[in-house]
Amino acid sequence: MSEKQPRVMSGMRTTQSLHIGNYFGALKNWLELQKQYECFFGAMDWHAMTNAYKKPKEIDEYTKDIIADWIAWGLDPEKNVIFIQSMVPEHLELSMIFANLTPMGWLERVTTWKDAKEELQQSDAYNLGRFSYPVLQTADISIYQASLVPVGKDQVAHLEISREIVRRFNRLYKAKLPEPKPLLTETPLITGTDGRKMSKSYGNVLPLTAEPKKIEKLCKKMVTDPQRVTREDPGNPEVCPVYDFHKLYSTNEDLQWVMKGCTTAGIGCGDCKLKLAANINEKMADALAKKKDLLKDSRKLDSIIVEGSRRARTEAQKTLAYVREMMGFSDYSPWGDS
């Protein structure tokens, strides 16, 4: 791992298994980033706890499932540091330090808190952990002294509070933690099986990795062009969610087959969906086999997780020692637990 590569930090909350929206919105970018940056990729289970705290066992299961998916789809656990957030306690320590220097007003203004108040209250997630989420997020980045955070264009503003917190820390203690900068990445809007934005809460997700039969079943249930009522009616692929999925998974030849067949009523929606399922299953086959292999022998996956988290912790401890030093706290490292 070259020291010269800029350091990137990114993570995913572990509240559900991955769907293809997570792939095209994040994982696909990570697979590219690993080629040119030193990357820290975290399974963020403390963040998952902010709203899924009633089901911690599920969080734990999703955490492993998600890491298995990352590796199955090509994230290299040797080149990248792949870790579980809760296995690196320094995240919480730095978060506590940052919490003290973060004025309440900064957090109250965060739109994902302000605008989601009602929804959070209804789901019993209007809590301190969720409120202080941006502080922990800042610690997640700064504990590795990462200088870059991959974000979509519409999320750049979310990083601003992290930059403000780090600036404040640096000013107060004359420190030099890097101010994280956004690394702009593509985050296309992925529609779900019903044509709305893909979201677990809508029940319209297509899993990133699943058995072929399940994919076929989900494809069969997909919403189509509402104007195409019978097999004899020509349809319009441009308003059909099935065609949106074809654009992600099918070859140009198949796209032309759909376009021509649909607009002339030459094919039925059933044919179109079966072709889509076959194309998805073909693209998923390798990753599915790798994921099953990883989950079958849990010792293999566990050792990858432990090793990645150990590497993450080594870096986190260095940062925390620096943070304490800059704050003027005594160095008790001879009494440390590592």
The stretch among 66-74, 76-84, 150-158, 269-277 that binds ligand SF4 (CB under 6 A) is 269-277
Per CB under 6 A, does 311 bind ligand SF4? no
- Out of 45, 90, 93, 225, which residue is the one contacting ligand SF4 (CB under 6 A)? 225
- Least Å distance, CB 194 to ligand SF4, is 13
Among residues 25 and 237, whose Cβ is nearest to ligand SF4?
Answer: 237
Per CB under 6 A, does 204 bind ligand SF4? no
Q: Are 73 and 26 in contact (CB under 8 A)?
A: no
Per CB under 6 A, does 205 bind ligand SF4? no
Q: Where are the alpha helices (DSSP H) in 73-194?
A: 90-100, 104-108, 111-114, 117-122, 128-131, 133-142, 156-173
| Tokens 């399922």, located at residue | 277
Per CB under 6 A, does 235 bind ligand SF4? yes
- Out of 165, 242, 294, 312, which residue is the one contacting ligand SF4 (CB under 6 A)? 242
Per CB under 6 A, does 267 bind ligand SF4? yes
Sheet of strand 38-44, all strands in order from the earlier edge strand to the far edge: 81-84, 38-44, 7-13, 148-151, 181-184
Residues in binding contact with ligand SF4, number by CB under 6 A: 14
Among residues 214 and 247, whose Cβ is nearest to ligand SF4?
Answer: 247
Q: Could you tell me the CA-to-CA distances from 193 to 24, 190, 254, 273 in Å, in that order?
A: 15, 10, 19, 11
**182 sits in which H/E element:** strand 181-184
Q: How many whole angstroms separate alpha carbon 161 and alpha carbon 152?
A: 16
Query: By the criterion CB under 6 A, which residues form the site for ligand SF4?
Result: 224-225, 228, 235, 237, 240, 242-243, 258, 262, 267, 269, 272-273
